[in-house]
Structure 1
Amino acid sequence: MLVTLTPHPDTPFAAIDRIEVDVGRREEFIWLRFAVYGDVGRVRWPEAADPDRADDLWRQTCFEVFVPTDDGYREFNLSPSGAWASYRFDGYRTGMAPADERAQVLGLEATETWATLEALIEPPPGGVCIGLSAVIEEIDGGISYWALAHPPGKPDFHHPDSFALILPPPEPA
């Protein structure tokens, strides 16, 4: 299933024309491919890192997935560096703690006009819809915020209105 993220109306996005996300279910995982189109040479890409859990990935170019659950929601951060993070929240921006669910960044490919990041996340129990978002930092310091849906006000990927995509059923084995 292919969807398009839109930029928040209050953030600059001079370098990027569009961001698309291909989403699917592969066995027990959610598979994602984030595709960024535009002058990707103007994007500040994080340096390669160990493919381990790391905090504060959202402070630079990063792709995110939010999954509501029966006990709150989960946030997954997927860095082009290869690092990832997962957090659980008891409620809207409350009760944040590391989550048990894992993620894996499978790789980043880039040319002058596009870049793709492919990843797998382990969905939490009960998650049937998701929010998709991206933080894009340009080399001049500008930051743009992209999502499936933006609630009124400043960029807020945690807002329930952002959890706008019903997950497709798992693909047959």
Structure 2
Amino acid sequence: MHVLIEEPGILRLVYALDADLSRVRVPSSRAGSRTDGLWRHTCFEAFVAPADAPGYCELNFSPSLDWAIYRFAAYREGMLSADLTRAPEISVRRADGGLELDSAVRLHELLALGSARRLRLALAGVVEEDNGRLSYWALRHAPGKPDFHHPEGFALELALP
């Protein structure tokens, strides 16, 4: 996993899935569009918030190139689809031993950053095995069943340029 804030205000997230892909259900590549329910299959997620604010965005990226972005006013409250002027850029590379998904989104379209100097991030992935079983991966899991939205999962902080 690589996370970069590139100029001018681009959040780049690069996910690597190291796995025998014959044992993982990977959605087939398509043209890529806004799609709900990506978490029901193999996908990668990021939750992004200004460091001192309760609101956050949920970003979902599928190896099919489909995506979804939602805004929340607080922990699981006030969910709205984010209206973007430009879809995220997503590319997928498959290789022996896994795949890599590279995504880029404009920060100003995700969040009202105001005077924020830092971002908090929760990074996660859902992997669907060939038998349909889902496993949930995160930089940090909150106690209990997987809940990528939980504030304790926001384990990474980045300075804004």
Calculate the TM-score normalised by the size of structure 1: 0.79
Secondary structure in 1 matching 2:71: strand
CA separation in 2, counterparts of 1:103 and 1:24? 18
1:129 aligns with 2:120: yes
Could you report, residue by residue, the CA deviation over 1:132-162 in whole angstroms, capped at 9, with x for unpaired residues? 1000001111211011111110000000011
What is the letter of the counterpart of residue 20 of structure 2?
D
1:9 maps to none
CA separation in 2, counterparts of 1:26 and 1:52? 24
Calculate the TM-score normalised by the size of structure 2: 0.85
1:35 maps to 16
Query: Any residues of structure 2 matched to 1:107-126 within 5 Å, and which?
Result: 107-123=91-107, 124-126=111-113
Gaps of 5+ in 2: none
Quote how far apart the aligned CAs of 1:168 are.
4.8
Percent identity of the aligned residues?
Answer: 44
CA separation in 1, counterparts of 2:62 and 2:90? 11
What is the letter of the counterpart of residue 150 of structure 1?
H
Query: Any residues of structure 2 matched to 1:1-173 within 5 Å, and which?
Result: 21-27=1-7, 28-69=9-50, 70=53, 72-101=55-84, 103-123=87-107, 124-126=111-113, 128-170=119-161
Deviates more, 1:145-154 or 1:94-103: 94-103
Gaps of 5+ in 1: 1-20
What is the letter of the counterpart of residue 72 of structure 2?
F
Give the aligned CA root-mean-square deviation in angstroms: 1.7
What is the letter of the counterpart of residue 152 of structure 2?
D
Quote how far apart the aligned CAs of 1:103 are.
5.0
Secondary structure in 1 matching 2:143: coil
Is the 8 Å Cα contact of residues 103 and 119 (structure 1) preserved in structure 2? Answer: no
Is the 8 Å Cα contact of residues 14 and 100 (structure 2) preserved in structure 1? Answer: yes
Is the 8 Å Cα contact of residues 51 and 104 (structure 1) preserved in structure 2? Answer: no
Secondary structure in 1 matching 2:45: strand
Could you report, residue by residue, the CA deviation over 1:87-146 in whole angstroms, capped at 9, with x for unpaired residues? 011221121111135652431111231210000122223361111100000111121101
